Amino acid sequence: MHPETRFDNYFKSAFTVDSVIFGFDEGALKILLIRRSEAPFDDYWALPGYFVRQDEDLDEAAQRTLRETTGLENVYLEQLQTFGSPGRHDFGRVITVAYYSLVKIADFTPRADGLSRDVRWHDLSALPDLAFDHNEIVGTATEKLKRSIRTRPVGFELLPPEFTLTDLQHLYEAIWETRLEKRNFRKKILSMQLLVDLERMQEGVAHRPARLYRFDEQRYQELTQEGFNFELREGKSR
């Protein structure tokens, strides 16, 4: 370690990582929360996360703490923002590096762990009071999601492997909290060459069955690189 002591005063902080995990189900956006099992905020709902170890990379810590609190593994986590108000933690100076991700709800079975009493998907539109400044973090993440879905093919991670155009439209509508015009949405999304027609149909629905699609992995990578511009004015019909 360093030979000098004049920096010692600075080495008294801790940092944590917290993850905002978005999912999509039943036409609504969800967030994965844990119920804390230790002070402070014992028993409160909170974002999955914990302290970062001394020799641990931030990205790794995010993966590990997500696993240890919810059981989720191999989730692609992207750094969101760092929150560090002096008063945000009772035990001392703790700043948190927030991550976020989009996952298919069906792909994972969250389970509580030593660090959490409970894990559950919550409707984004009806969140309880969360521990620390986690409500603020969720707000920031939601803003970012709204913006990034306009420039990147985001639906990919939120929808099941096979989906209908209406599913995809509902996803956009849920994130943007708006209604889109069906015809124009379809024309736009199809013109991007991002979807592959599976040439199969929905089954067991009480109406004309919809065509099933999947994302074209190749094209998805391209568009993620270049970025695109997905904008549609609000529409009445759905």
Partner DNA sequence: ACAAAAGTGTTCGGCGTACACCCATGG
Partner DNA sequence: CCATGGGTGTACGCCGAACACTTTTGT
- Residues that contact DNA, how many (by CB under 7 A): 27
Q: Is 163 helix (H, G, I), strand (E, B) or coil?
A: strand
One of 82, 201, 222, 227 touching DNA (CB under 7 A): 201
From 45-53, 65-73, 95-103, 197-205, span contacting DNA (CB under 7 A) = 197-205
Q: Residue 182's closest CA among 108, 221, 236, 125?
A: 236
Considering only residues 206 through 235, tell me which ones interact with a second copy, judged by CB under 8 A.
227, 229, 231
Closer CB to DNA, 40 or 161, in the complex: 161
Question: Does 135 help bind a second copy (rule: CB under 8 A)?
Answer: no
Q: Does 6 bind DNA (CB under 7 A)?
A: no
Q: What are phi and psi of 196, to 5 degrees?
A: -110, 125
Q: What is the largest CA-CA distance in the chain?
A: 75
Interface residue with a second copy, options 74, 92, 199, 237 (CB under 8 A) = 92
Distance, CA of 64 to CA of 84 (rounded, Å): 21
Q: Is 26 in the site for DNA (CB under 7 A)?
A: no
Q: Show the binding pattern over residues 140-159: x = contacts a second copy (CB under 8 A), - = does not.
A: -------x--xx--------
Binder of residue 15, out of a second copy, DNA, none (CB less than 5 to 8 A by kind): a second copy
Residues 201, 211: contact at Cβ < 8 Å? yes
Pick out residues in 35-64 that bind a second copy (CB under 8 A). Answer: 39, 51-58
Q: How many CB atoms lie within 10 A of CB 109?
A: 10
Tokens of 181: 């015009």
Is residue 165 involved in binding DNA (CB under 7 A)?
yes
Residue 165: name its binding partner from a second copy, DNA, none (Cβ under 5 to 8 Å by kind): DNA
**Torsional sign, CA 172, 169, 226, 107:** positive
Q: What is the dihedral of CA 105, 108, 113, 119, to 10 degrees?
A: 10
Residue 200: CB partners within 8 Å, gap ≥ 6? 162, 211, 212
* Dist CA 141 CA 233 (whole Å): 23
Closest to 19 measured CA to CA, from 54, 56, 52: 52
In the complex, least distance from residue 176 CB atom to DNA, rounded to whole angstroms? 13
Q: Which of 25, 64, 71, 81 is close enough to bind a second copy by CB under 8 A?
A: 81
Residues forming the site for a second copy (CB under 8 A): 1-2, 4, 7, 9-15, 39, 51-58, 79, 81-82, 84-86, 90-93, 95, 97, 147, 150-151, 227, 229, 231
Residues forming the site for DNA (CB under 7 A): 164-166, 181-184, 186-188, 191, 201, 203-211, 231-233, 235-237
